[in-house]
């Protein structure tokens, strides 16, 4: 018991310090860094939710971009002011229902999440009966359908023109706050008996079924929780970048999320967060290599997309040398951290004692 309460105190203290840091960062950091940190949190939510569906339940879904798009458009339409909507929809007028609809940020995010989960339920109903590759193909197709709908539903989404002037309610407290909620819910879920059943489904569907596990129910549960948070993250994203159009939510987003999750480790929530932050920060840090630079007498012109080339090389290296991702399927824990330092103290000769976090 004593150990558990110590860990609780550490977690609580950490959260407190973290929130104070967030508030400080929100008021003193420059907008560029704030934006990167916000993106870190949003990508973390994407990765954590993908991990829930793939890492824990074994269902390879590529629908994340579509669900994020649904969340983003719902939140955009509900937070845009009537005047901004009038400015946006100059080709065709907006549907009258939406014209004067404006809600505070929190309820719009909840509606974004619920909207994504509702659409998720509709697609999952047939799709989750498919296995493996077929589910991936079905969800990928679904994502594309959503994108085409966004382009063509001119009076709702403003088509390819996208929506501009979204208020930008998202700040560090919103994004990281939702990440913390998402982590908490996901962690509680995977540690519950439902979570154990999900892992059983991942390891062996036939055996799980033979034990009385209702496969469909558990896949559905993981999928819907995932969809909800992806929708919320989409809403946060819309209110962060303040301009969205269908191109933001192409396949590429889904692949990025898969890449991040694999890099962090399947079945490790902390791994997903770490990988998402590293990914977002690296991608920004690597921006200079896309501009023109000179090595000796050689001048290399700026090539847009260079950093993605570098990123794929890094991803390849991770997969080659850390087969299971940065964290494998273990989590960062206080016990692991304390053990790590204790071992260090005991071995002052400097022999590495790595791999103790479990």
Partner 1 sequence: MLKIENLHVYYGGIHALQSISLQVPEGKIISLLGANGAGKSTTLRTIMGIVKPSEGRIEFLGESLVGLKSFQVVMKGIALAPEGRRVFTNLTVTENLALGAYIRSEKAQIREDIEEIYSLFPRLKEREKQSAGTLSGGEQQMLALGRALMSKPKLLMIDEPSLGLAPVLSQGVLSKLKELNQTRGQTILLIEQNARAALSIADYAYILETGIVKLEGPAAELASDDAVRRTYLGIH
CB 235 within 8 A of CB 72: yes
If you count DSSP H runs as helices and E runs as strands, how many of each does the chain have, helices first?
16, 2
34 forms part of the interface with partner 1 (CB under 8 A):
no
CB 299 within 8 A of CB 70: no
Applying CB under 8 A, which of residues 4, 211, 295, 298 lies at the interface with partner 1? 211
Give the closest residue to 174 by CA, choosing from 231, 219, 235. 235
In the range 90-109, which residues lie near partner 1 by CB under 8 A? none
197 forms part of the interface with partner 1 (CB under 8 A):
yes
191 forms part of the interface with partner 1 (CB under 8 A):
no
Applying CB under 8 A, which of residues 62, 94, 140, 213 lies at the interface with partner 1? 213
In the range 264-293, which residues lie near partner 1 by CB under 8 A? 267
Supply the minimum distance, in Å, between the C-beta of residue 330 and partner 1.
12
Applying CB under 8 A, which of residues 207, 300, 316, 317 lies at the interface with partner 1? 207
Applying CB under 8 A, which of residues 17, 203, 255, 355 lies at the interface with partner 1? 203
Phi, psi (5° rounding) for residue 299?
A: -105, 120
Orientation angle between helical segments 251-264 and 64-79, nearest 10 degrees: 120
Phi, psi (5° rounding) for residue 244?
A: -125, 145
Supply the minimum distance, in Å, between the C-beta of residue 75 and partner 1.
37
Supply the minimum distance, in Å, between the C-beta of residue 200 and partner 1.
5
Supply the minimum distance, in Å, between the C-beta of residue 137 and partner 1.
23
Per-residue mark of binding to partner 1, 298-337 (x: CB under 8 A): -------------------------------x--------
Applying CB under 8 A, which of residues 68, 69, 94, 208 lies at the interface with partner 1? 208
352 forms part of the interface with partner 1 (CB under 8 A):
no
DSSP assignments along 48-75, one per residue: HHHIIIIIIT------HHHHHHHHHHHH
164 forms part of the interface with partner 1 (CB under 8 A):
no
103 SS3 class: coil
Q: Which residue number, 58 or 115, has a Cβ lying nearer to partner 1?
A: 58
DSSP H or E run through 300:
strand 298-300
- Angle among Cα 11, 16, 19 to the nearest 5 degrees reads 120
CA distances for 37 relative to 31, 112, 176, angstroms: 10, 22, 9
Question: Footprint of partner 1 on this chain (CB under 8 A)?
Answer: 193, 196-197, 199-200, 202-204, 206-214, 267, 329
């Amino acid at each position: 018991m004593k150990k558990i309460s110590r860990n609780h105190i550490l977690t609580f203290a950490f959260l407190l310090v973290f929130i104070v840091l967030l508030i400080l960062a929100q008021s003193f950091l420059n907008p560029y860094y704030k934006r990167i940190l916000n993106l870190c949190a949003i990508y973390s939510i994407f990765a954590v939710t993908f991990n829930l569906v793939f890492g824990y339940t074994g269902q390879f879904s590529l629908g994340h971009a579509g669900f994020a798009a649904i969340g983003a458009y719902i939140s955009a339409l509900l937070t845009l002011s009537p005047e901004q909507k009038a400015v946006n929809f100059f080709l065709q007028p907006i549907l009258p229902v939406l014209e004067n609809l404006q809600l505070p940020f929190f309820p719009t995010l909840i509606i974004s999440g619920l909207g994504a989960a509702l659409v998720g339920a509709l697609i999952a109903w047939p799709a989750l009966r498919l296995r493996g590759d077929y589910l991936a193909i079905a969800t990928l197709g679904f994502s594309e359908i959503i994108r085409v709908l966004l382009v063509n539903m001119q009076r709702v989404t403003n088509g390819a023109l996208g929506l501009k002037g979204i208020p930008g309610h998202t700040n560090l407290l919103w994004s990281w706050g939702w990440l913390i909620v998402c982590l908490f819910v996901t962690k509680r879920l995977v540690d519950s008996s439902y979570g154990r059943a999900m892992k059983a489904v991942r390891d062996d569907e036939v055996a799980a079924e033979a034990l009385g596990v209702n496969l469909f129910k558990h896949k559905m549960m993981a999928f819907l929780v995932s969809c909800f948070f992806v929708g919320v993250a989409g809403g946060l994203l819309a209110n962060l970048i303040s301009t969205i159009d269908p191109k933001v939510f192409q396949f590429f987003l889904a692949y990025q999320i898969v890449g991040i999750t694999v890099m962090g480790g399947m079945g490790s929530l902390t791994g997903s967060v770490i990988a998402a932050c590293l990914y977002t920060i690296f991608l920004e840090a690597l921006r200079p290599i896309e501009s023109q630079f000179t090595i000796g007498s050689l001048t290399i012109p700026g090539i847009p997309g260079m950093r993605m080339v570098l990123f794929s090389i890094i991803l390849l290296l991770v997969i080659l040398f850390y087969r299971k991702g940065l964290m494998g399927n273990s989590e960062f824990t206080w016990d692991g951290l304390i053990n790590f330092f204790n071992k260090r103290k005991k071995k002052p000769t400097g022999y590495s004692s790595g791999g103790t976090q479990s």
